[in-house]
Amino acid sequence: MVLGSPSSGPAWASFEGTIEPGSDESRLLARIDPDRLPRHVAVIMDGNGRWANQRDLPRIEGHKAGADSVREIIETSARLGIQHLTLYAFSVENWKRPKAEVNELMRLLKKYLQDDLPTLLQHNIRFRAIGRIQQLDATVQLLIRDAERKTAGNQRLQLNLALNYGGRSELADAARQIARLVQDRKLKPDEIDEGVMADHLYTAGLPDPDLLIRTSGEQRVSNFLLWQIAYAEFYITPVLWPDFRKRSLFEAVIEFQGRDRRYGGLAEK
């Protein structure tokens, strides 16, 4: 993963030498307004299994191909100038999958955390994991904390990986924390508002997603960022995750920039 300089001017300038002039990708990139980028993009990465099935391959091959898409979308987001990228990697419901598949997913996660940490450091990308991390394998937890600690000062892009994550679990965990504050008389019930709630979510300190992308054509949020996506723009594409690359992200951003975001108000005349 080779990134341009973060101070190289407009977003398209950081793609110099990586996109062929006159190509479809080049034409799409030219349509993106670097001053109106989504600040935070969240992605439900779906379709790895179907991608493998279409090719008569084991499901794990789809997950491996999906890992390549992860790398490309991280790189492309950083080049564009997107500040926050949240990827739904493993849900609390995914434990229901066959044990062999879960074990292979954990192996791929460990490999990513080990192999890609130098790249995150080199290119100023901060890593953060969100979810019930304490329930993961001890080795995975150590790798996560090591990556978070070593990249804590990076500022170009914040990569948030949702692991053992569930939106309802997140809200329940936040409610428990707030209840303890009330029980300890550190917070009054009447003081509980949206800000207090947001401060006790896994995503505390992050802006809410502007753009939520779902691949594979499914039209549901799958228990992902239930509180945070209240005003996110949804972009649903039939493209399976292993085939979702920079061109697909460009198309999503262009669609986002064409939306009229009113937040419950009226459009400006």
Active-site positions read 46, 94
Q: Is there a contact between 81 and 8 (Cβ–Cβ < 8 Å)?
A: no
Encoding tokens for residue 50?
């179907």
Residues 6 or more apart whose Cβ sits within 8 Å of residue 265: none
Residues 257 and 85: their CA atoms lie apart, in Å, by 17
β-strand partners of 233: 211
Q: Is there a contact between 99 and 111 (Cβ–Cβ < 8 Å)?
A: no
Q: Is there a contact between 249 and 77 (Cβ–Cβ < 8 Å)?
A: yes
Residues 6 or more apart whose Cβ sits within 8 Å of residue 138: none
Encoding tokens for residue 154?
């990076």
